[in-house]
């Protein structure tokens, strides 16, 4: 289902709400960028807009740039936390959001790990039909709000490493996945959607730790 413009109840995109301001990639002059011919799905563009109505993510991002964006996620998140006015402990939460900073970090790591698992399975001969997961239920099962931010960052770093290995292996195999909600997904589609999830939640983290009242 949709909650304020973000998908909930289906894997890959944590809960959130549309802000009053623009996302970090907004306001720039957009130029035509040829689409990668290996993409087969416009799921992300249709759901979030192109660029994303909330975070400004540009779905025309190249495969390699999207991979780089995901690989840089732990460093980017660490920089956001370091730039906070006060020492962030992961409990910060924007009043419009469901999850805390620490919970979003946990979610991004788990989501990347799950997609890596899917890719690795198909590369090893598994059916390309994959099951969805409910990130809300996973958050409860893992007790995201009780996980220390240091542990969440450690887990995120290792999830990114696993994801990159799975993507590298999949680049050679040239695989496709069949997702129950998203339909047929090429590897490029998967990489872009994973990059969007990580980028979008960096934006959620940034607005959660900005000066202002906490929920």
Number of residues assigned to the chain: 215
Q: What is the pLDDT of residue 12?
A: 65
- Asked whether residue 16 is domain-assigned, the answer is no
Task: Render pLDDT for 120-166 as a digit per residue (tens, 0 to 9).
Answer: 999 999 999 999 999 999 999 999 999 999 999 999 999 999 999 99
What's the structural domain count of the chain?
1
Residue 167: what pLDDT? Answer: 97
Are the beta carbons of 15 and 165 closer than 8 angstroms? Answer: no
Q: Give the range of the structural domain holding residue 93, as residue numbers without chain letter.
A: 28-209
CA distance 130 to 160: 20
> Residue 96 falls within a domain, yes or no?
yes
Residue 15 lies inside a defined structural domain of this protein: no
What distance, in Å, lies between the first and last C-alpha atoms of the chain? 24
Q: What is the pLDDT of residue 13?
A: 60
Buried/exposed 30-54: b ≥16 CB within 10 Å, e otherwise: eeeeeebeebebebbeebbeebbbb
Please report the pLDDT score of residue 2 as a whole number.
Answer: 27
pLDDT under 50 in the chain at which residues?
1-9, 16-37, 213-215
Domain membership flag for residue 93:
yes
Whether residue 133 contacts residue 178, with contact meaning beta carbons closer than 8 Å, is answered with no
In a domain, 113, yes or no: yes
CATH number of the domain where residue 49 is located:
1.20.120.450
Please give the pLDDT value at position 84. 82
């Amino acid at each position: 289902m949709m909650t304020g413009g973000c998908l909930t109840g289906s894997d890959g995109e944590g809960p959130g709400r549309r802000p009053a301001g623009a996302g970090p990639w907004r306001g720039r002059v957009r130029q035509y960028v040829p689409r990668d011919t290996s993409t087969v799905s416009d799921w992300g563009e249709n759901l979030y807009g192109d660029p994303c109505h909330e975070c400004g993510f540009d779905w025309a991002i190249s495969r390699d740039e999207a991979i780089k964006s995901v690989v840089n996620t732990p460093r980017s998140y660490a920089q956001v936390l370091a730039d906070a006015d006060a020492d962030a402990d992961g409990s910060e939460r924007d009043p419009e959001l469901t999850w805390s900073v620490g919970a979003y970090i946990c979610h991004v790591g788990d989501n990347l790990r799950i997609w890596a698992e899917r890719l690795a399975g198909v590369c090893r001969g598994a059916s390309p039909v994959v099951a969805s997961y409910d990130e809300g239920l996973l958050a409860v099962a893992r007790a995201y709000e009780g996980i220390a931010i240091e542990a969440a960052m450690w887990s995120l770093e290792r999830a990114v490493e696993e994801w990159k290995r799975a993507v590298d292996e999949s680049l050679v195999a040239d695989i496709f996945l069949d997702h129950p909600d998203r339909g047929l997904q090429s590897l490029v589609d998967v990489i872009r959607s994973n990059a969007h999830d990580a980028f979008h939640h960096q934006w959620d983290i940034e607005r959660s730790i900005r000066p202002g009242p906490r929920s």
